[in-house]
Amino acid sequence: MANLGFVGLGVMGGRIAKRLLDSGHAVTGYNRTRSKARWLLDAGMTWADSPKDVARACDVTFSMVSNTEALLAITGGENGVLAGLGPGKIYVDMSTVGPAASRELSALVADKGARMLDAPVSGSVATLDQGQLTFMVGGDIDVFERVKPILLDVGPKATHVGDNGLAVSMKVATNLSLAVHMLAFSEGLLLAEKSGIKRETAVEVLLNSVIASPMLKYRGPFVLDMPDEAWFDVNMMQKDMGLALELGRQVDVPLPTASVTNEYLTAARGMGLADQDFAVIFEVLARMSGVSEG
């Protein structure tokens, strides 16, 4: 069992840390708000007072934060992860951030004599709780092979996709489809509803049809009953859409459906729905269709 660290114990990060604890690993953790980590401390996690202290104490340090700015905040400065790294240590970032920022960070990690992997995940809270979360990993293949058994304690699949930064590129390419798919589902659902079919019936039919992806199977029901706590809110999804659109411009790939879907996320923010799960894109379209009073 490895001596692991985890920085960023939010909705997903906290649950990943818990699965590592449940697998028998020693886990030292840090979160900006300590109270949100209380349940993990009760489960046996050791607390550290800074990201630096986590990295210093552990052989492999993981992190999962909301965006590039947050990643730079936990890694830089006198109390950041970089300050705690040294020869032989491994740093694995699971955040969805800009590929260039991830590559630049991997170079700084190498300067410390350590090695870095970018290892964003595919899945949601439901996927994670079911033990079905998967990883895409960028970085040195030998480092990946050393970390892979730990990742497999969280979920059933970890795929090495290439050099540093390519895993976050893969994650951005994956995530743009989530919002696009949610918008297409909403369009079909509202078309059925306004034709006279009950919303609940239309949802049942669609989620048992050929369009029912794993994402829709767990997020589609949100159009009937939104969760109290967003699994992945509008702001987070729009951050990822922005990364996708930026990457598309860099590599000359047009992203027409991503561009349109991004505008519906902007509309959701304008309607005061930014803290809702991005499935609320249905509510945006419903209001525009005269179905919902908002």
Q: Which residues are catalytic?
A: 171
Least Cα distance to 4 among 76, 69, 54, 64 occurs for 54
In 3-state terms the chain splits into helix, strand, coil percentages (rounded to 5) of: 55, 15, 30
**Phi and psi based region of residue 290 (left: phi greater than 0; alpha: psi -120 to 50; beta: remaining):** left
Element (H, E) at 82: helix 81-84
Q: Find residue 77's DSSP bridge partners.
A: none
Q: What is the DSSP letter of 233?
A: B
**What is the residue type of 12?**
M
Residues 6+ apart with CB under 8 A from 190: 282, 285, 286, 289, 291
Token pair 């945006």 is at which residue?
284
Residue 62 in 3-state DSSP?
strand
Torsion angle of the four alpha carbons 152, 153, 155, 156, in this order, in degrees rounded to the nearest 10: 50
Say if CB 80 and CB 54 are below 8 A apart.
Answer: no
63/66 Cα distance (integer angstroms): 10
Q: Find residue 46's DSSP bridge partners.
A: 28
122/159 Cα distance (integer angstroms): 11
Least Cα distance to 29 among 147, 104, 13 occurs for 13
Least Cα distance to 28 among 149, 49, 119 occurs for 49
